[in-house]
Amino acid sequence: MAVSASFANSILSIKTHRPNALSTSLSLPKPTSVSTRNQKSTRFTTFCSLEAAKDPKLDVPIEKRYEAFPTVMDINQIREILPHRFPFLLVDRVIEYNAGVSAVAIKNVTINDNFFPGHFPERPIMPGVLMVEAMAQVGGLVMLQPEVGGSRENFFFAGIDKVRFRRPVIAGDTLVMRMTLIKLQKRFGIAKMEGKAYVGGEVVCEGEFLMATGTG
């Protein structure tokens, strides 16, 4: 059978053609220079973006991300119970309360507190005795209730035992104090309480408190 010359030439061309290996390689983009001027902020942005990808909550602006402490008693209600006044009222808000049993309250520590200029000028630290006093005031909120029978006129902080200061409390901290009644002797007007104070979830101060209720 006769084969046309053009068809034979095309067959021969297919058999003998060897494609150039370079012709099939992928073209790579040219390297680009990266400015390191804002390298620190870029790393931070990348980190935040990666964290946000892991947890959608982190995509929310930080000022909206955290809930505030609840308010069980505001400062006006606290003033109705405690006899203390400025500059010695060291409880700003009660955030949990179990009548006659326990209370959790906060003290917002600010550089405007009157004890900071002298304690200490170069390194402002809340005095340990004032942390203890603030905790005792929270104890007063527990004791000065009908469930316990404490008297505002005859209520005293009588003593403290096993007190420990774990770390300094500085301006800007929120001191969270829990006071729990562990023993009450109404006949003698004596109460024993356990107290712990926290900053950022870490214990900064703890001890056992003795209260005189004035009911004996």
Q: How far apart are CA 61 and CA 148, in angstroms?
A: 45
The b/e string for 84-118 (b: 16+ C-beta within 10 A; e otherwise) is eeeeebbbbbbbebeebebbbbbbebeeebeebee
Closest CA to 158 of 182, 130, 190, 197: 190
User: What DSSP string describes 162-178?
Assistant: EEEE-S---TT-EEEEE
- Phi, psi dihedrals of residue 101, rounded to the nearest 5°: -125, -55
Catalytic, 119? Answer yes
Q: Name the active-site residue from 119, 149, 170, 208.
A: 119
Q: How far apart are CA 105 and CA 16, in angstroms?
A: 90
- Phi, psi dihedrals of residue 62, rounded to the nearest 5°: -60, -30
CB within 8 A of 138, min separation 6: which ones?
Answer: 91, 94, 103, 104, 105, 177, 178, 179, 195
Neighbours of 65 (CB within 10 A): 10
Q: How far apart are CA 18 and CA 16, in angstroms?
A: 6
| Catalytic center residues | 119
